[in-house]
């Protein structure tokens, strides 16, 4: 039962253009969402997060959008740079009383930014 899904295994964009990575979830108890980036031979690195009380969060070139009714979130990278080439994971968690930070991850999307 895949509660967090990233349906695009890969995405290729030109340097300077926008990258849009998508993520869908099924568990209604999820109310905190994160994006992690992973380079080869390194662990995932936290990128940006959003709480379900918001529909948008921005940090520099990175913006995450949340559509709760559609159970969908997306990560926008503008402008994309070759150094952004990595695997991007969407993750989700509930924040209820017994939630201690268990993250449920999607399968990941490989982003390649061409110079």
Selected from 66, 106, 111, 113, the binder of another protein by CB under 8 A is 106
Among 13, 21, 34, 111, binds another protein (CB under 8 A): 34
* Least Cβ distance, residue 24 to another protein (angstroms): 13
φ, ψ of residue 83 to 5 degrees: the values are -70, -10
Residue in the block written with tokens 């991007």: 88
Nearer to another protein, 16 or 39 (CB): 39
For residue 81, the minimal CB distance to another protein (Å) is 22
Angstrom distance (rounded) from CA 76 to CA 80: 9
> Which residues lie across from 78 on neighbouring strands?
none
């Amino acid at each position: 039962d895949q509660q967090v899904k990233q349906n695009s295994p890969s995405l290729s964009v030109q340097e300077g253009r926008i990258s849009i990575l998508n993520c869908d979830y099924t568990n209604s108890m999820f109310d905190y969402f994160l994006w992690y980036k992973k380079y080869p031979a390194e662990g995932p690195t936290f990128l940006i997060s959003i709480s379900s009380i918001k529909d948008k969060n921005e940090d520099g070139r990175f913006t995450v959008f949340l559509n709760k009714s559609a159970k969908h979130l997306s990560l926008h990278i503008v402008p994309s740079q070759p150094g952004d080439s990595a695997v991007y994971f969407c993750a989700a968690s509930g924040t209820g009383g017994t939630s201690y930070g268990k993250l449920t991850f999607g399968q990941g999307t490989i982003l390649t930014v061409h110079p």
